[in-house]
Amino acid sequence: MKLIGYFRSSAAFRVRIGLNLKGIVVDQAFCHLRKGEQGRPEYVALNPQKLVPALVLDSGQVLTQSLAILEYLEEIHPEPALLPKDPVERARVRSLALIPTADIHPIQNLRVMAYLRDKFGQSEEAAFAWSRHWIETGFDAYEATVANDRGTGAFSHGDAPSLADLCLIPQVFNATRFKVDMSRYPTIKRIFDNCMKLPAFDAAHPSKQPDAEP
């Protein structure tokens, strides 16, 4: 298999963690989002959404959308599990995963920021303020959920990393870039620290990717 990503992409970061946790080795290729390579015809032919990541299977089939890719990896390589066996617990993990992936990331990613600047004349400072607002709104909800739920352990759910953590950790990196005050979120910070002690998370860090830039 081949993973096409970009070092700073939160969505690609999620998939890298999942592959590392499951011990699945893939080839890597890179699509530089800030240079607009996602709009090149050859990439659009693979992924009409013009987003990363894209996972090209041995069969030639292309999978897109990070959550769909992670669910696929879970099905073909179920151990270690990213989702609990209990249906209620599975729903809790999926619910947590959707806070960063559905409520935060889509409205503060690169193309939304560019639209704010280019189409509405917003300054870089205003665009950053927009992103901080939506990150903090989502983190307020995530923190309240994990801080007050007995399902939380060393990680977002229990004492092993789950799909929720794979989605949360990249968003914490984004939050740092947008100068979010993480002291407001002690439980998220604790989970983040626990995750980053694991080699699978550490190796997926944006700065450790072959296409990383300062």
Query: Where exactly are the structural domains of the chain?
Result: 2-80, 87-201
Q: Looking at domain 2-80, does it have CATH number 3.40.30.10?
A: yes
pTM of the complete model: 0.96
Residues 63-112 pLDDT 10s: 999 999 999 999 999 999 999 999 999 999 999 999 999 999 999 999 99
How far CA 44 is from CA of 48, 54, 62, 120, 179, in Å, comes to 5, 11, 12, 26, 33
Compute the mean pLDDT over every residue in the chain, rounded to the nearest whole number.
Answer: 97
Which of the four pLDDT bands, split at 50, 70 and 90, describes residue 6? very high
Do the domains spanning 2-80 and 87-201 agree at the CATH topology level? no
Residues 112/106, Cβ–Cβ less than 8 Å: yes
pLDDT above 90 for 180: yes
Which residues have a Cβ under 8 Å from the Cβ of 87 and sit 6 or more positions away?
none
Q: How many CB atoms lie within 10 A of CB 204?
A: 24
Integer Cα distance of 46 and 54 in angstroms: 8
CATH number given to 87-201: 1.20.1050.10
The reported pLDDT for the residue numbered 214 is 85
pLDDT above 90 for 148: no
Residues 34-49 pLDDT 10s: 999 999 999 999 999 9
